[in-house]
Amino acid sequence: MQRIRLATERTAPSDSRSRPRAAYQPYMLNARASLRQAIDSLSKANADKGGHRINAINLCQQAIREIDLGMRYANNH
């Protein structure tokens, strides 16, 4: 539940220097790009391979979501 701030409450002045800048994460970005390429290749493959091709695509998509969550976490902590 979000807390509503009253107009009478004081807040610290906004200072962009007080918050650390998001770190560049080349390995995470490269991993995400590789997974997207894997999805593209898997999507072009013919036949379903007994459901394993679709499962591989789903796992790549899940890995991309985890990478995004990990990068977001690292940028906020």
* DSSP 8-state class, residue 12: P
Q: How far apart are CA 11 and CA 70, in angstroms?
A: 29
Let me know if residue 10 belongs to a domain.
Answer: no
> 27 lies in which domain range?
23-76
User: How many structural domains does the chain have?
Assistant: 1
Q: Find the mean pLDDT for residues 18-36.
A: 87
Q: Of 73, 72, 45, which Cα lies nearest the Cα of 60?
A: 45
Is residue 12's pLDDT more than 70?
A: no
Tell me the pLDDT band of 37, cut-offs 50, 70 and 90.
very high
Contact 40, 5 (CB under 8 A): no
| pLDDT given for residue 23 in this prediction | 79
Let me know if residue 3 belongs to a domain.
Answer: no
| pLDDT given for residue 14 in this prediction | 52
